[in-house]
Structure 1
Amino acid sequence: MININTLDLNLLKVFDAIMDERHISRAAERLCVTQPAVSGMVKRLRQHLDDELFIRTRNGVIPTQRAEELALPIKNLLQQLNIIFNNQSFDPLTAQQQFTFAATDYTQQVILEPFLLKLRQIAPQIKCAVLNLSADQTRLEMSKGNIDFAFMTPEDAPAFAVSKALFKEEYVFAISKSHRLSQQSSISVKEFCEQPQGIVSYDGGSFRTQTDEVLMQLGFKRDVSMSMPSFSSLINLIKKSDITAIIPKKIAEINLDLKTFDLPFEISGFTKLLVWHERTQLSIAHEWIREQIFASCK
C-alpha cells in the first residue's frame, strides 16, 4: 500500500506526462526537465506502486495494465488540485487563460464565430484554440485533458463528460438565388430528386445519408454528384453552380444569398450539445466560458 505521506506529487505529473506522450524524452521536454530526471522519478514510482508501469519499446513506452487503470484517476486528481489552488477569482477583463475547443466547421460558423467575437470584447486577453476533430479524436483528446470544450451530438458525447443541450437543429433544401427554381415557394419530392446535389461527408467520400434511405422508402432516388468535407465548401458550390443540397437551417440563416425550401419529406434533425470533462466542472473560469456559450446560443 502506498504511503501518501511520503508520495511526491511531482511523480504523478511525470506519470501523467508519460501516459500522454508514450515517450520518456517527450515527457521530459513537456515538463522542462532532463530525461535522466524523469527516468529517476519513474523508478521511484515503480517502487511506490510495485509495478513496472511502462515497458520500453523501440518507439517509446507501452503502459502496463496497472498504469492504464491509474491514468484517468491521476489526471483527474491533478486537474482538481490545479482548480483548488488556482480558482480563487476570475476577472474576464484581465484573465489570460487558454481554452481549446473541438468543433466541426458547422459549429465554427453557427456557434463559435459569434461567441468568439463577443469574447474579444469582454475578455480580450483570453486565448482560444479551435480544433477540427472527428468524434473519436475528440473523445480521446478530452480524456487526456487536451480539450476543454466540444460541441457534439448526444450519440457522440463521451460517458465521462458533462453536457448540456444548446439547441435543436433541422434541415432545409438550399439552392442559389440564380437557380431556375428560385422563384418557387415550395418544391415537390420529384423536383427535389431531379436536382444535382451535394452532401457533406466528414468521414470522407460518402455519397449517401439518411435522406437516401427516406427517399428509397418513398420510391424515389436522388443524384448526389458532390461529396464535400465541410459545409463552407459545399455552400460555395451551391452559390456558384446548379448544385443543390440539404443543409442545417442555422447554416442557411447566416448565408442570406441562398434560397431555401422546407423539405417535401421528413428527416430527423439533431441536438447540439456543449460537452466538457467532469474534472473541470468546478473551475470558475470554465464555468464562466460555459455561461457565455449558453447565452450566445439563446
Structure 2
Amino acid sequence: MGSKGGDKDFDYNLIKIFGAVISAGNAAKAAQQLGITPAAVSLALRRLQSHYQEALFVRGKNGLLPTDRAIDLHRDFQQVIELLNGTFLAKNRREEAAQITVMGSDIVESYYLSQLHDIDVFEQVLINHFSSRNIAREQMIERIFTSQCDLVISTEPIARPGIENQLIDSFKSFVCICASSHMLSQLTQLTLHQFYTSRHALFQMNINHSPGINERVLVKNTSYHHGQRMIGYCSDSIHGLVSVVERTSLIALMPLKMALFFKNQRKYDIKLVLPPPELMIRPIQIHASWKYNDKNISVINDIVSRLHTLSSFRR
C-alpha cells in the first residue's frame, strides 16, 4: 500500500530514473542512457511504486508499459522540473524562448523552411536546422526528450507518451520530372513501358534505408508489368536530385506540389509529365512532432501553424 500524504523519505532522484524509463520505452534503454545497471533501474521503480497505490507499470510483450497514472505522474513531474529550471534560468529565459531547433531531412530545409522567407519569422526567432540524415529514430526521440531538439519533421508521427504530433502536409498527386531537352518532355503522360525503361533518380533520406518512394509505387494491374524501376542516381539532397535530373537523361517521380515549387519558384529548367495511369501511388504524409511541455512551446506552435498554412495554400 502506498503512503498517505507527504512523504519525508521520498527520494527525488527516483524522478529522473522514472522519466528516463518513460522516455526510453523500457528499463534496459533507460539504464544505458543513465549509465547504471538495469537492476538499479528496476529497484528504483519498485521504490517509486511503494509511494503510490495505483500501479505505474504493467508488463507487456516488449517490456514495461506505463499506465495512465504513470503518464499523468510523468507530466506532473515534468511541470515541476520546468518550474525549478525556470528559477535557475530566469535571466536568460527571454533569449532562449526566441530559439528553436528543428530536425528533418533536406526536404524540410529546402522545401518547407525556405518558404518562410516572406514571413517575419526569421526576424523574431532563431531557427536552428540540423539534418536527420543517418540518425536513428530512437536517437531523434531521445533528443526531443533531452531538449537537444525542439521539433522533428518527418513522414511518420512519433507515438510516445509526452510527444504531440500534427499533420502539416499530405502529398496525394505525383508527377514525373525530366529535363526540358529530354525526349519525353513533349509528352503529357508516360506509358508503363516508358516509365520502366527510363533510368530514375530517387530521393533517399537515410543511407541505411532503401529509397522510400520506391516502396510507394504500386501497379493496379500486375499483368501490365512485373519489373522494377532502373535506378541511376540516389541522393539525400532534394536540390541535388533535381539538379541532376535537369542536366541528364534521368527522370524522377515527385509530389506535384514539390515539382511545381522547384520549377516555378526555384526556376529549374524541368518539365512535368504525368506518370502512367496504371500506377497507383500512395499518399505521403508529413508530420511535426514535439515534446508537449517544451520550453519553446509557443514558438513551436507558431512554426507548425505557419507550415500547415503554407501547405494548405499549395493544395
TM > 0.5 fold call: yes
TM-aligned CA distance change 1:159 to 1:75, over 3 Å: closer
TM-aligned CA distance change 1:175 to 1:60, over 3 Å: same
1:35 aligned partner: none
2:51 aligned partner: none
Matched, 1:268 2:260: no
Partners of 2:11 and 2:119 lie apart in 1 by 42
Partners of 2:242 and 2:14 lie apart in 1 by 48
Deviations 1:253-282 (A, max 9, x none): 221122112221221121212222223399
- Where in structure 1 are there 5+ consecutive unaligned residues? 20-53, 87-92
8 Å CA contact retained: 1:109, 1:251: no
2:62 aligned partner: none
Aligned partner letter, 2:42:
Q
Partners of 1:229 and 1:288 lie apart in 2 by 28
1:184 aligned partner: 187
Matched, 1:202 2:214: no
Determine helix, strand or coil for the equivalent of 2:262. Answer: coil
- Paired residues in the alignment total 256
Aligned partner letter, 2:205:
Y
Partners of 2:15 and 2:101 lie apart in 1 by 21
Aligned match for 1:235, one of 242, 246, 256: 242
* Per-residue deviation, 1:198: 1.9
Matched, 1:65 2:65: no
8 Å CA contact retained: 2:245, 2:251: yes
* Per-residue deviation, 1:164: 1.8
Please identify runs of 4+ aligned residues in structure 1 that moved more than 6 A: 6-9, 12-19, 68-75
Determine helix, strand or coil for the equivalent of 1:217. Answer: coil
Deviations 1:106-142 (A, max 9, x none): 2222222223663544405x34343324444323322
**TM-score, reference length from structure 2:** 0.63
Partners of 1:149 and 1:81 lie apart in 2 by 22
* Percent of residue pairs bearing the same amino acid type: 15
2:270 aligned partner: 258
* Per-residue deviation, 1:238: 0.5
1:150 aligned partner: 152
Matched, 1:173 2:180: no
Deviations 1:229-250 (A, max 9, x none): 3323222211121111112223
2:60 aligned partner: none
Partners of 2:290 and 2:211 lie apart in 1 by 32
Matched, 1:140 2:142: yes
2:106 aligned partner: 105
TM-aligned CA distance change 1:196 to 1:74, over 3 Å: same
2:231 aligned partner: 224
Partners of 1:277 and 1:253 lie apart in 2 by 33
- Where in structure 2 are there 5+ consecutive unaligned residues? 22-29, 46-56, 58-65, 87-93, 264-268
Determine helix, strand or coil for the equivalent of 2:167. Answer: strand
Q: What is the root-mean-square deviation in Å for CA atoms of aligned residues?
A: 4.2
